[in-house]
Structure 1
Amino acid sequence: QAIAADPQLVFLDEPTDGLDPLARDEVLTLIRQVSEEYGIHVMISSHLLEEVEQICDNIVILNAGKLVAAGQLDKLTGESTGLEIELIAIDDYPNSIEDVQMALQNAGIKVLHEPDSTILRIPDGSPELLPDLIRDAVADSGARLKRLEHRRRSLEDIILDVPS
């Protein structure tokens, strides 16, 4: 109904609040379509930062009514801050995640790993051979690779960096 009059701008307050995951995804897709296909600007107020990162191009962050950050999402989140490797441990290889960590560290790679986590983080500044080292370490460990991606600062990181 809000777009029936062909507006230039639509305001949405917490558009996915209370929705189940399937309905949430449909609403997010619809918001993106309205913007891309009809050229309607959509302004969203939301506390769900992951959703904001999925669908927004420009961001304004307010804290206690004061502007904290504003700009294009990719400029606010910046360049890669390293790699994130998510692994799946296999029952036959219970120490496989630690084995991957150890193999990478033995190759001179700085690896951050929280106990009981399936995610390994590698800060920027690692060698160009890193993809080969990761491939070999995972294959040798018996673990399965679920996800490997460049990590960028998230909106949550930006907000947490703001002094109280």
Structure 2
Amino acid sequence: MSAIPMTVLGAERLRAELHELKSVKRPIIIQAIATAREHGDLKENAEYHAAREQQGFCEGRIQDIEAKLSNAQIIDISKQPNNGKVIFGCTVTILNLDSEEEVTYRIVGDDEADIKNNLISVNSPIARGLIGKSADDVANITTPKGVVEFEIIDVKYI
């Protein structure tokens, strides 16, 4: 598995979720399984089967997070010298030249992407079109609506 780019905040969130799963949810599920076993016949025990299913999801998520963290390439953008180029982790303000709409995005790893909070994946079409460009450059980006011209207004390394 290749390195997975991740911001410092993204790595912290994954570590917090991992801690929650291991120290809170896993013991609750184990207790639920033990309680369900006390009810007798396991073949027809819906509580037991539901708890085992929860355990499977929990353990799968734990393995997924551990794999991502072990392959993570954590990038702290605030420690990079700001040369004005759009790179992973930066916050970029762009202007849609057709609609005159201005929007600010932060380019993050796939697991951190959340368009509602203006966090876009480094693998998204917009991010791929912006990477390597500098402030005042114009990027032609293919979107579902066709090719759109965006002017890069500002690039911050925060």
Q: TM-score range by the shorter chain?
A: under 0.3
TM-score normalised by the chain length of structure 1: 0.22
Rg bigger for which structure? 2
| TM-score (normalizing by structure 2) | 0.22
